Amino acid sequence: MKKILLIGTGGTIASQLTADGLAPELTSEQLLAQIPSISEICRVESVQLLNLDSTNIAPEHWLRMVRCIRKHYKDYDGFVLTHGTDTMAYTAAALSYLIQQSPKPIVLTGAQKPIGFDVTDSKANLKDAFRVASSDMPGVSLVFNGKVILGTRAQKIRSKSFEAFSSINYPALGVLRDGVLLPYIRQECGPEPVFYEALDTRVSLLKLIPGTDPALLDFLLERSDALVIESFGVGGLPEYEGADFCGSVCRWTERGRLVVLTTQVQNEGSDLGVYHVGHRLKAVPGVLEAFDMTTEAVTAKLMWILGQTRDAQQAQRLFYAPVAHDILWPAER
């Protein structure tokens, strides 16, 4: 029987009703006590790493998760992290960059309703996560509502329903039906995982609205090493009297900042070259394009890249190099 480590980090799954609303209070041991039949699937040991609402999860916590998995890697066959749903997709993306090529499964899960509620998705999600962690599906994934989603492709799409996550621009790795895992895609992996423990957190995101004040761009780029701009449709920057977005971007990229253009549309990604408003940006060194990547993956990847290098060309090369199928290889586009 496989031996799995449960790493508790908080979230709704571990929450209880308090006078001030739901707050994570249950320990990973208490979660396990709610699913005694887990002993039929695997042997479980647990650690309580954090107990946070995932709104409070920050990059330093991703590094703590990585260190915990690294420390215990040899002793277990797989890992389950319970986590709040709100930022789980960011954590799944971050762990995909910080732990690459893992031959063992590293599975994130959580729930929309606490484990102690009469109607809850907690028990099914937790048991499914242990099934995947005990399987032959390597690498980082997110298991939720019967779906196994690649860590770099997950996005939260519903704030209340059990069907909370979607796999964006990539098929689900598998599904779970009545406790049976049907694996469709097996991530490739190495003989050993490659761990990284450095991140540059000076990465920001600007979501455009019609009439965005161009001064916001300068404000953010002054304080960031990389800026992700979620623009409209296939991508572009506004160009009208008094709004020189393109000029600002050029000034900052000349000073070594990275700017990534992406889209606020959930599916199908960017294609900057299509319209005049985007086309001229393609020629600006230091301006990158997210194509089919999620914003969660783009922001985590930039933190991972800038944690390793300050060289703009190397950063650019790393950005477009696929990690855990986060971006389609350019030749496939």
Q: Which stretch binds ligand ASP (CB under 6 A): 73-81, 82-90, 173-181, 296-304?
A: 82-90
Which is nearer to ligand ASP, 26 or 327 (by Cβ)? 26
Considering only 28, 46, 82, 85, the residue that binds ligand ASP (CB under 6 A) is 85
Considering only 38, 86, 108, 229, the residue that binds ligand ASP (CB under 6 A) is 86
Which is nearer to ligand ASP, 158 or 333 (by Cβ)? 158
- The answer to whether 12 is a known catalytic residue is yes
Kindly list the distances between the CA atom of residue 191 and the CA atoms of 108, 157, 188, 291, in Å, as whole numbers in the listed order.
22, 34, 10, 30
Which is nearer to ligand ASP, 74 or 160 (by Cβ)? 160
CA distance 153 to 159: 18
Q: How far is the CB of 55 from ligand ASP (least distance, A)?
A: 6
Tell me if 203 sits within 8 A of 225, measured CB to CB.
Answer: yes
Does residue 112 interact with ligand ASP by CB under 6 A?
Answer: yes
Q: How far is the CB of 111 from ligand ASP (least distance, A)?
A: 6
Return the SS3 of 193.
coil
Site for ligand ASP in 119-178 (CB under 6 A): none
Q: How many residues bind ligand ASP (CB under 6 A)?
A: 10
What letter does residue 148 receive in the DSSP assignment? Answer: E
- What residue is closest to ligand ASP based on CB? 84
Considering only 8, 78, 84, 138, the residue that binds ligand ASP (CB under 6 A) is 84
Candidates 12, 82, 85, 152; catalytic one: 12
Considering only 28, 51, 54, 294, the residue that binds ligand ASP (CB under 6 A) is 54
Which is nearer to ligand ASP, 52 or 221 (by Cβ)? 52
Q: If residue 123 lies in a helix (H) or strand (E), which one and from where to where?
A: helix 122-133
CA distance 23 to 290: 35
Close Cβ partners of 59 (under 8 Å, ≥ 6 residues apart):
94, 199, 201, 303
Does residue 110 interact with ligand ASP by CB under 6 A?
Answer: yes
The token pair that represents 218 in the structure block: 């300068």
Pairing of strands 154-156, 139-144: unpaired
Q: How many CB atoms lie within 10 A of CB 172?
A: 19
Sign of the Cα pseudo-torsion (187, 188, 189, 191, in order): positive
Tell me if 100 sits within 8 A of 157, measured CB to CB.
Answer: no
Q: How far is the CB of 86 from ligand ASP (least distance, A)?
A: 3
Which is nearer to ligand ASP, 11 or 235 (by Cβ)? 11
The token pair that represents 198 in the structure block: 């450095």
Q: How many CB atoms lie within 10 A of CB 159?
A: 9
Q: How far is the CB of 80 from ligand ASP (least distance, A)?
A: 15
Which is nearer to ligand ASP, 55 or 267 (by Cβ)? 55
Alpha helices in the chain (DSSP H): 28-33, 59-72, 88-98, 122-133, 215-222, 245-254, 276-279, 295-306, 312-320
Using CB under 6 A as the criterion, which residues of the chain lie in contact with ligand ASP when the complex forms? 11-12, 53-55, 84-86, 110, 112
Residues acting as catalytic residues: 12
